[in-house]
Amino acid sequence: MELERLLRSQGFGSRPDCRELVRNGRVAINSEICDDPYAEFNPENLEFAVDGVRWRYTEKVYLVMNKPGGYEVSHQPHHHPSVFELLPKPLLTRGVQAVGRLDEDTTGLLLFTDDGQFIHRYTSPKKLIPKVYRVTTKHAIDEVQIADLLAGVVLNDEPKPIAAVAAEIVSDCVLKLTVTEGKYHLVKRMIAAVSNRVEALHREAIGGLSLPADIAVGQWRFLSAAEIRALTQTHCA
Ligand code: URA
């Protein structure tokens, strides 16, 4: 693939922008500057650098972020900064989107990709992807609340009760809750339905992927091939 086209596919701007980048000596392949925009490279796993920042070619890109509180998952945030501000420009240019949403005050595992099929698979209500939340509540959680969450709670505007697929007391005011749906404020509404209240919400896992321990709050990284496999092999429908 021509270098100019390769850079364009990775989010470095229009073809003329990419041509300029290369001609200005800002692009290195395997640590050597290449100033020919039409030079041909096999893109598979190709490592390149733009202005000294290293990248690897990927046909589709998959990221995991440890979402901080106080950030909205939206390109047009209303009251807070956007999580997209935490990502580098080339990833935004190539169309990376969040896979589902988290509330502004929710923290933890958030996926991003430019793979539309993947987003569809992970956000479609028909696919029962488990999402695990660590929920801190205002009042102590008791076994009756756990039983109600597992049996299903009635929420406003929902035609039928919604049940957690797992609910486990961690400590007085902390529980681990697994749900498969992705409805608006779902966990907060379920906890309110059992007469309690969410004080803090942290997503620990989606499907077979737990939030990697090596990602600090507000940081992100590319998913490894094994992590992508863990995700794609765990949907139940
Ligand atoms: N449920 C909620 O209430 N909020 C989230 O951010 C995610 C799930």
* Ligand 1 site-directed mutation target among 186, 197, 202, most atoms within 8 Å of CB: 186
Average pLDDT score over residue span 7-14: 96
pLDDT(175) > 90: yes
User: Does one domain contain both 116 and 220?
Assistant: yes
CATH number of the structural domain spanning residue 20: 3.10.290.10
List the structure tokens of 13.
Answer: 């701007």
Please, what's the b/e burial string for 25-43 (b: 16 or more CB within 10 A of its CB; e: otherwise)? eebbbeeeeeeebeeeeeb
Residues enclosing ligand 1, CB less than 6 A? Answer: 102-103, 106, 185-188, 201
pLDDT(234) > 60: no
pTM: 0.92
User: Does one domain contain both 153 and 48?
Assistant: no
User: Does one domain contain both 201 and 217?
Assistant: no
Q: Give the domain extent around 10.
A: 3-56
Kindly report the number of other CB atoms within 10 A of residue 176's CB atom: 16
pLDDT(237) > 80: no
Query: Which pLDDT tens digit goes with each residue over 36-93?
Result: 999 999 999 899 999 999 999 999 999 999 999 999 999 999 999 999 999 999 999 9
Read off the amino acid at residue 4. Answer: E
List the structure tokens of 97.
Answer: 């989107």
CATH number of the structural domain spanning residue 199: 3.30.70.1560
As for how many domains the chain has, the answer is 3
Whether the Cβ atoms of residue 1 and residue 79 lie closer than 8 Å to each other: no
Q: In what order do the strands lie in the sheet with 32-33?
A: 32-33, 27-29, 47-50, 53-56
For 113-122, 181-190, 204-213, 227-236, which range has the lowest pLDDT when averaged over its residues? 227-236
User: Does one domain contain both 109 and 171?
Assistant: no
**What ligand 1 atom has the least distance to the C-alpha of 190?**
3
- For residue 138, the CA-to-ligand 1 centroid distance in Å is 16
CATH number of the structural domain spanning residue 81: 3.30.70.580
User: Does one domain contain both 157 and 44?
Assistant: no
User: Which residues share a beta bridge with 77?
Assistant: none
